[in-house]
Amino acid sequence: MIKVTIKYRVPYADTDQMQVVYYGNYLTYFERSRNELLREMGFSYKELEALGYALPVKEAHVDYHAPATYDDLLEITGWCESFKGVRLKICCEVKCNGKLLASGYTIHANCNLKTMLPTRPPQVMLETLKG
3-state secondary structure the chain: CCEEEEEEECCHHHECCCCEECCCHHHHHHHHHHHHHHHHCCCCHHHHHHCCEECCEEEEEEEECCCCECCCEEEEEEEEEEEECCEEEEEEEEEECCEEEEEEEEEEECEECCCCCECCCCHHHHHHHHC
Catalytic site positions: 16
Residue 118 CA to residue 5 CA, distance in Å, equals 29
